[in-house]
Amino acid sequence: MTTPFPDMEDSNDSTNPDIHRISSPSRRQVLGGGLGALGVQLLAGLGLSACATPGQGTSTAIGFKSVAVNTLDQVTLPEGYVAQVLVPWGEPVGLSGEAPAFRWDASNSAAEQAAQLGMHHDGIQFLPLPALGTGLLIINHEYTDDGLLHRDGMTTWSLEKVRKSQAAHGLSIVEVAFQEGRWQAVRPSPYARRITANTPMRFAGPAAGHPLLRTAADPRGLTPLGTLNNCGSGITPWGTVLTCEENFIGYFDGPAQPDAHGKRWGLKRGGAGYRWHEHDARFDATRNPHEPNRFGWMVEIDPQDPSSVPVKRTALGRAAHEAARIVLTKEGRAVVYSGEDARFEYIYKFVSRDRVQPGGAKANQHLLDHGTLYVARFDANGRGQWLPLIHGAHSLDAAHGFQDAGDVLIKSRQASDLLGATKMDRPEWIEVDPQGWVYVTLTNNSNRGVGDAPGVDAANPRANNSMGHIIRWKETGDFDATRFEWNHLVLAGDPQQSRAQAQGNIRGDAFACPDGLWVDSRGVLWIQTDIASSTLAKGEMSGLGHNALLAVDPRSGEVRRFLVGPAGCEITGMTGTPDGTTVFVNIQHPGESPSERSDPAQPRKYSNWPDFRADGRPRSATLAIRKIDGGVVGT
């Protein structure tokens, strides 16, 4: 496909010596960007801190002894650390007057589930409330395993079960406090909230009210219901949270022959098997063809105002969004990085037109409605370009199927195809470190170079990329730059296994299928893995054990394994307290079978974590991890 942007592949004046090997981050030029003075001020107002510049002093940034690979049904941590299980699926979130206890036979009703923590914890953010001495955990519940969620799985199916499944999706906002050496949920709490697949929301930004967002139930296209498949999330400097709607299309039953738009977004008969459409026509796309267009957005939530209506920010584009990493330019414009976790999809960034204002959520309620959305192209010479998705420019016009700005945002995949953006190996989380490196995990892509699928390219250099990799770049200038220089932090995998190419700028413990990322206040990069249950500890993954959490020393590039999860889980979101003495880490889908679905007749077959009851069932949960001596986690 031709692209309207100049090809940079022939340029040979890059300062990047080799895209696969480059000096450690601390030896690279430090960008003058970062949050800037305004951002630091805003964060300080929230009780959050901007990243300190690492590399000072002589001690290594990671002081714990690496945990050995294992396949135990438990959480393994380094010596000197303790983990507390907090807010598992089914615990009451703390709504006033409602505290339905979790029933171990999974017989809680849909209404009870709507007052309890949802299932399958994913992205997590911590918002301190310094005046109260407490804080809010804002937790995504990515999806449900209906074999565990209902007493008899899906053998019978009803509207009540659909409603329970929908109630176990979305987010939980839980107030937590550290008292007498333990973290505890504050119940009841005026901040406690469940947001589900049926919570009233509104659209804002250029696509709000667009004809493709209108349905019979919402003829103005302004008031969607609910959020789905909430994977990663990000916290804004003004105190709100952006939650991402990832694999939303799987909830819809499509026609046998979808149109070109439906096909491009993966709409198909039966979807991913949730069977909601059998009792809720909203998810029958043959009857409500625009309903799928109302998902795939980033949703902004004000966790400090439980009565606030969540807003789907259309200016940030529609995609199977995995992550939202928000940074500020020196002059205070908001930049939102996000990837799309699907094979051969794209990496995006949004740059706000206006500057962030002091005054919290209210003062910035329109900030994410005006700006420019870009998609990334990685060129073979180690340089890259951000391609703007602007209606009327670069062939994004009516002649090419884009009637207006809303069309471009709703069909961002098609627009990115037309611009010649780089098709990536499933972009998952995005993080930014104190040196200005932007990291993206590319978890894996077994279809790369297979059959008619796209072949390898410089940014995605392995065919049948079962192990994944991490790419990183620095913007040429501030975070709103349109050009960047990139390289690979690592091509993941165990060099002892079949992947001789498992090499990079880091050394130490091996891992595969990187997914979650978090940079702590000291600049340590934490990597969470998501090896699929079907391949965990088998074949070329046999040396890697269960999914794990690893830390990368920002100066030496050394990687050490910090945590190994229980059977069948993946390690998902991570955040921490501003003082660094507690990190919160989510354990998702413990006990998932190799076929990635549980058997309701044998719920404990693969794991009984974390409760280990004779009548229990495995539950996703948040871990609060601390050093026994009260020090900073990771030191």
Give the total residue count for the chain: 635
With contacts defined by CB under 5 A, name the span among 61-69, 123-131, 511-519, 585-593 that binds Ca ion.
511-519
Binding positions for Ca ion, 401-440, rule CB under 5 A: 428
**CB 231 to Ca ion: min, Å:** 5
Q: Which stretch binds Ca ion (CB under 5 A): 172-180, 407-415, 526-534, 584-592?
A: 526-534
Instruction: With contacts defined by CB under 5 A, name the span among 9-17, 190-198, 262-270, 525-533 that binds Ca ion.
Output: 525-533
Phi-psi region of 353 (alpha: psi -120 to 50; beta: other; left: phi over 0): alpha
User: Smallest distance from the beta carbon of 536 to ligand FEO, in angstroms?
Assistant: 16
DSSP secondary structure code for residue 261 in this structure: H
Q: What is d(CA 8, CA 360) in angstroms, rounded to the nearest whole number?
A: 41
Task: Give, as ranges, the residues between 296 and 335 that touch ligand FEO (CB under 6 A).
Answer: 322
In this structure, are residues 517 and 431 in contact, taking their beta carbons and an 8 Å threshold? yes
Alpha-carbon gap, residue 628 to 623, rounded angstroms: 15
Interface map 529-568 toward Ca ion (x if CB under 5 A): -x--------------------------------------
Report which secondary-structure segment, H or E, holds 413. Answer: helix 412-419
The correct pick among 231, 375, 396, 459 for binding ligand FEO (CB under 6 A) is: 231
- DSSP designation for 250: G
Partner whose footprint covers residue 509, from ligand FEO, Ca ion, none (CB < 5 to 8 Å by kind): none
Beta-carbon count within 10 A of 388 CB: 18
Q: Which 478-497 positions form the footprint of ligand FEO (CB under 6 A)?
A: none
Minimum Å distance from CB 545 to Ca ion? 17
345 binds, among Ca ion, ligand FEO, none (CB under 5 to 8 A by kind): none
Question: Binding to ligand FEO by residue 245, rule CB under 6 A?
Answer: no
Instruction: Please list every residue from 103 through 162 that binds ligand FEO, using CB under 6 A.
Output: 142
Cβ at position 277, least distance to Ca ion in Å: 25
Does 571 bind ligand FEO (CB under 6 A)? Our answer is no
- Give the distance from CA 64 to its chain's centroid: 27
Burial 243-268 (b: 16+ CB within 10 A, else e): bbbbbbbbbbbbeeebeebbeebbbb
* 515 makes contact with Ca ion (CB under 5 A): yes
Q: Are 166 and 275 in contact (CB under 8 A)?
A: no
Question: Shortest Cβ distance from residue 546 to Ca ion (Å)?
Answer: 15
- Which of 246, 425, 485, 553: binder of ligand FEO (CB under 6 A)? 246
H/E run at residue 529? strand 525-529
165 binds, among Ca ion, ligand FEO, none (CB under 5 to 8 A by kind): none
Tokens of 139: 């937790």
Q: Least distance (Å) from ligand FEO to the CB of residue 469? A: 15
Q: Nearest-CA neighbor of 142 among 531, 570, 566?
A: 570
Can you tell me whether residue 242 is helix, strand or coil?
A: strand
The pair phi, psi for residue 591, each rounded to 5°, is: 85, 5
Q: Does 228 bind ligand FEO (CB under 6 A)?
A: no
Least distance in angstroms from the C-beta of 625 to ligand FEO: 21
Give the single-character DSSP code of 253.
B
What are the angstrom distances between the C-alpha of 366 and each of 19, 43, 209, 390, 507? 39, 19, 16, 19, 44
Smallest separation (angstroms) from ligand FEO to the CB of 84: 25
Q: Which residues contact 3 (CB under 8 A, 6 or more apart)?
A: 377, 387, 419, 420
480 binds, among ligand FEO, Ca ion, none (CB under 5 to 8 A by kind): none
Roughly how many angstroms between the first and final C-alpha of the chain, as a whole number? 50
CB of 123 to Ca ion, least distance (A): 8
Q: Tell me, residue by residue from 515 to 554, as one string, x for binding to ligand FEO by CB under 6 A and - for no binding.
A: x---------------------------------------
Interface size with ligand FEO, residues (CB under 6 A): 7
If the CB atoms of residues 146 and 530 are measured against Ca ion, the closer one turns out to be: 530
DSSP helix/strand/coil, 84: strand
Closer of 123 and 310 to Ca ion (Cβ): 123
By C-alpha distance, which of 432, 300, 434, 314 is closest to 360? 300
The nearer residue to ligand FEO, 381 or 622, going by C-beta atoms, is 622
DSSP letter at 356 equals P
Q: How far apart are CA 395 and CA 387, in angstroms?
A: 12
* Smallest gap from residue 230 Cβ to ligand FEO (A): 9
Q: Say whether residue 428 binds ligand FEO (CB under 6 A).
A: yes
Return the H-helix or E-strand segment holding 161.
helix 159-167
To the nearest whole angstrom, how small is the minimum distance from the Cβ of residue 229 to ligand FEO? 7
Give me the residues that bind Ca ion (CB under 5 A), please. 428, 443, 515, 530
Contacting positions for ligand FEO (CB under 6 A): 142, 231, 246, 322, 341, 428, 515
